[in-house]
């Protein structure tokens, strides 16, 4: 049982990394990865929102299925996530100002982050149980955090390099992301060996 | 942001609105919006084309709907209203694709519902459709959508030929050339997009093409557009409302201020 959860967690972090393998949340990945602090803050905020979003959307999906309204999934999820993020920001500001200081400012930015909606839909498609879905959400968030952290380091070097004129800015950043993604290819198969899944 | 040209006093024609999305303001290659699907589904031309056309449909329909409702929607709740409109059309597309193109539905997977959070769609609704009539909105949606589709098809053609040795499923590379599997892997996606964006910058800078490009340059702020994780209020770095330049600094300042506030509260 424990191995099952560990397998989901690590496969979401390493093998199915949301940014570098599934290409979800590319905008913040390329945008906020310039500074290490922002990258970590953004990653942590995304992790928190992912877990909470799944905690809410998974039961909602069960209701939609029970009422035969599966086709409303997209509309329901995006509105629920947007509302949830708003409420979370208000709650943090009021009750946990210290956490709001480090994570709160990133929250409005991830309302319509495709990674959050993506993970909510993904765990439903995979047919995970409630605890499995929550673990998958945690893994997806931690994977995002890991990619952000690694890439902010890579990015510092890239910013100081002098590529040909037309490659300056976004093109060379994408090439650097390609090489980072290549390093994550080394993880495929790791989970099968570790957990025999 | 460099010299910001005041917007032209004359209304652009429908053809000009349509033309803008193709190269000059191409969503994927110049504005760098909607990069998630651009990278994720472009492993085969059929997928790229399907994704592009689905997005075009959603863009045109939601832009027209937003444009028609632009006086009826109160300003304060416009973003949720836009999202609901967009999500409805995405649901429609999902149903159509599922019913008539099950293979495409299988290939696009979760990226089909994720059109709803594609920055291009919300960006155009907020930035263009909410300020223009339905005809102009349709032209803008079609131009942006087809520009996006062209970028996706181009990208998936390169990746399919190099990565699988096929084009639209038919073999094009001679058998003695091994396909570079890395090209259809995620790493290849980032690399091909990087090279394509560099190529589009080069084409725009090239003197032979220069006269074609209207001098409303997106310039260095194009990369800042991608640098904006707000998916995506304005979607146009030349828009006066767009604060992408100041965005990162603003973020840093907000973090510092919030930290200070928290410290003061503790004391």
3-state secondary structure labels for all residues of B180-195: CHHHHCHHHHHHHHHH
> Which residues, other chains included, contact B234 with Cβ-Cβ below 8 Å and sequence gap of 6+?
B123, B126, B127, B241, B242
Residue A21 predicted with pLDDT over 90? no
N- to C-terminal Cα separation, chain A: 12
Residue of chain A whose alpha carbon sits nearest to that of B34: A27
Q: Which residues of B touch A37 (CB under 8 A)?
A: 255
Letter string b/e over residues B177-214, b meaning 16 or more CB atoms within 10 A of that residue's CB? eeeeebbbbbbbbbbbbbbbbbebbebbeeeeeeeeee
Determine contact: A158 vs chain B, CB below 8 A. Answer: no
Q: Report A:22-61 residues touching B (Cβ under 8 A).
A: 22-28, 30-32, 34-35, 37-38, 41-42
Q: Is residue A103 part of a domain?
A: yes
pLDDT, average across residues A123-148: 92
Q: Which residues pair with A24 in a beta bridge?
A: none
Residue of chain A whose alpha carbon sits nearest to that of B202: A166
Determine contact: B114 vs chain A, CB below 8 A. Answer: yes
Q: Write the residue in A24, A26, A74 that is nearest to B87 by C-beta.
A: A74
CA–CA gap between residue A141 and residue A8 (Å, rounded): 13
Residue A193 predicted with pLDDT over 70? yes
Position with higher pLDDT, B66 vs A165 = B66
Chain-chain contact of A74 with B252 (C-beta, under 8 angstroms): no
Q: Write the residue in B80, B88, B110 that is nearest to A122 by C-beta.
A: B110
Q: Write the residue in A21, A34, A74 that is nearest to B116 by C-beta.
A: A74
Residue A194 predicted with pLDDT over 50? yes
User: Residue A20: helix, strand or coil by DSSP?
Assistant: coil
Rounded to a whole number of angstroms, the distance from the CA of A195 to the nearest CA of chain B is 24
Domain count, chain A: 1
- Where do the structural domains in chain B lie, given as residue ranges? 14-216
Report the pLDDT value the prediction gives residue B218, as an integer from 0 to 100. 39
CA–CA gap between residue A121 and residue A127 (Å, rounded): 10
| Contacts of A138-141 spanning 24+ positions with Cβ under 8 A | A138/A9, A138/A12, A138/A47, A138/A50, A138/A51, A139/A8, A139/A9, A139/A10, A139/A11, A139/A12, A139/A13, A140/A12, A140/A18, A140/A50, A140/A115, A141/A43, A141/A46, A141/A47, A141/A48, A141/A49, A141/A50, A141/A51
Tell me the residue range of the domain where A163 lies. Answer: 2-187
CA–CA gap between residue A108 and residue A100 (Å, rounded): 12
Q: Which residues of B touch A114 (CB under 8 A)?
A: 36, 114, 117-118, 231
Report the pLDDT value the prediction gives residue B249, as an integer from 0 to 100. 62
CA–CA gap between residue B226 and residue B235 (Å, rounded): 9
CA–CA gap between residue A127 and residue A58 (Å, rounded): 10
Q: What is the pTM of this model?
A: 0.79
CA–CA gap between residue B15 and residue B145 (Å, rounded): 14
CA–CA gap between residue A26 and residue B39 (Å, rounded): 9
Report the pLDDT value the prediction gives residue B123, as an integer from 0 to 100. 83
Chain-chain contact of B83 with A100 (C-beta, under 8 angstroms): no
User: Residue B248: helix, strand or coil by DSSP?
Assistant: helix
What the block records as the tokens of B5 is 């040209």
Q: Is residue A192 part of a domain?
A: no
CA–CA gap between residue A121 and residue A58 (Å, rounded): 9
ipTM topping 0.95: no
Chain-chain contact of B198 with A171 (C-beta, under 8 angstroms): yes
CA–CA gap between residue B64 and residue A98 (Å, rounded): 44
User: How would you write the pLDDT of chain B (267 residues) with one tens digit per residue?
Assistant: 444 454 444 567 888 888 777 777 788 887 777 788 888 888 889 999 999 999 999 999 999 999 999 999 888 888 888 889 999 999 999 999 999 999 999 888 888 988 888 878 888 888 888 888 999 999 999 999 999 999 999 999 999 999 888 888 788 888 788 888 888 888 889 999 999 888 888 877 766 555 444 333 433 344 445 545 544 445 455 555 555 555 556 666 777 777 787 788 777
CA–CA gap between residue A101 and residue B166 (Å, rounded): 52
DSSP run (H or E) holding A6: helix A2-10
Closest CA to B30 of B219, B164, B205, B185: B219
Half-sphere exposure of B11 (CA within 13 A, CB side): 7
Position with higher pLDDT, A197 vs B10 = B10
Position with higher pLDDT, A150 vs B243 = A150
Tens of pLDDT, residue by residue over A62-110, are 999 999 888 888 889 988 888 888 888 888 888 878 777 776 667 766 7
- Whether the CB-CB separation of B134 and B70 falls below 8 Å is answered with no
Chain-chain contact of B186 with A174 (C-beta, under 8 angstroms): no
Mutate to test the interface with A, among B58, B118, B191, B229 (most CBs of A within 10 A): B229
> Which residues, other chains included, contact A106 with Cβ-Cβ below 8 Å and sequence gap of 6+?
A32, A41, A42, A45, A46
Closest CA to A89 of B116, B258, B263: B258
CA–CA gap between residue A116 and residue A77 (Å, rounded): 10
CB pairs under 8 A between A and B: 178
Mutate to test the interface with A, among B62, B77, B186 (most CBs of A within 10 A): B186
Chain-chain contact of B110 with A34 (C-beta, under 8 angstroms): no
CA–CA gap between residue B261 and residue B200 (Å, rounded): 45
Q: What angle (nearest 5°) sits at the alpha carbon of residue B136, between those of residues B133 and B140?
A: 130
Letter string b/e over residues B248-265, b meaning 16 or more CB atoms within 10 A of that residue's CB? beebeeebeebbeebeee
User: Residue B105: helix, strand or coil by DSSP?
Assistant: helix
Report the pLDDT value the prediction gives residue B215, as an integer from 0 to 100. 38
pLDDT band for position A134 (cuts 50, 70, 90) = very high
Letter string b/e over residues B103-133, b meaning 16 or more CB atoms within 10 A of that residue's CB? ebbebbbbbbbbbbbbbbbbbbbbbbbbebe
Q: Write the residue in A72, A169, A175 that is nearest to B223 by C-beta.
A: A169
């Amino acid at each position: 049982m424990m191995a099952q959860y560990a397998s989901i967690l690590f496969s979401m972090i390493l093998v199915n990394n949301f940014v570098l393998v599934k290409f979800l949340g590319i905008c913040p990945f390329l945008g906020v990865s310039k500074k290490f602090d922002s990258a970590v803050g953004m990653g942590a905020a995304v992790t928190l929102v992912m877990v909470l979003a799944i905690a809410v959307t998974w039961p909602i999906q069960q209701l939609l299925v029970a009422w035969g309204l599966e086709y409303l999934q997209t509309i329901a999820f995006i509105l629920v996530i947007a509302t949830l993020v708003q409420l979370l920001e208000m709650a943090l500001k009021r009750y946990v100002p210290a956490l709001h200081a480090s994570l709160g400012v990133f929250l409005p930015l991830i309302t319509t982050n495709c990674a959050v909606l993506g993970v909510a839909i993904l765990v439903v498609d995979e047919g995970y149980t409630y605890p499995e879905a929550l673990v998958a959400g945690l893994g997806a968030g931690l994977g995002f955090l890991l990619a952000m952290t690694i890439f902010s380091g890579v990015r510092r070097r890239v910013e100081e390099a002098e590529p040909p004129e037309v490659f300056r800015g976004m093109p060379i950043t994408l090439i650097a992301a390609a090489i980072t993604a290549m390093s994550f290819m080394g993880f495929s198969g790791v989970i099968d060996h570790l957990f025999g899944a | 942001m460099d010299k910001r040209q005041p917007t032209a006093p004359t209304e652009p024609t429908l053809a000009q609105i349509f033309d803008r999305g193709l190269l000059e303001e191409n969503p994927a290659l110049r504005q760098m919006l909607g990069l998630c699907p651009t990278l994720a589904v472009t492993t085969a031309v059929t997928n790229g084309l399907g994704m592009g056309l689905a997005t075009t449909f959603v863009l045109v329909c939601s832009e027209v709907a937003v444009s028609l409702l632009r006086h009826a929607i109160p300003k304060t709740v416009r973003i949720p209203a836009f999202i609901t409109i967009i999500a409805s059309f995405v649901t429609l597309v999902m149903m159509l694709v599922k019913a008539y193109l099950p293979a495409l539905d299988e290939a696009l997977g979760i990226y089909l519902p994720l059109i709803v959070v594609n920055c291009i769609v919300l960006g155009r609704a907020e930035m263009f459709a909410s300020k223009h009539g339905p005809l102009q909105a349709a032209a803008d949606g079609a131009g942006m959508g087809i520009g996006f589709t062209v970028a996706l098809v181009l990208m998936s053609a390169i990746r399919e030929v190099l990565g699988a040795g096929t084009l639209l499923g038919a073999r094009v590379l001679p058998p003695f050339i091994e396909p570079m599997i890395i090209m259809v892997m995620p790493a290849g996606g980032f690399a091909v997009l990087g090279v394509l964006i560099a190529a589009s910058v080069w084409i725009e800078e090239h003197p032979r093409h220069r006269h074609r490009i209207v001098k409303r340059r997106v310039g260095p702020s194009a990369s800042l557009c991608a640098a904006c994780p707000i998916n995506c209020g304005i979607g146009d770095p030349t828009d006066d409302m767009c604060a992408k330049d100041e965005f990162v600094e603003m973020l840093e300042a907000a973090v510092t201020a919030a930290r200070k506030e928290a410290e003061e509260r503790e004391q």
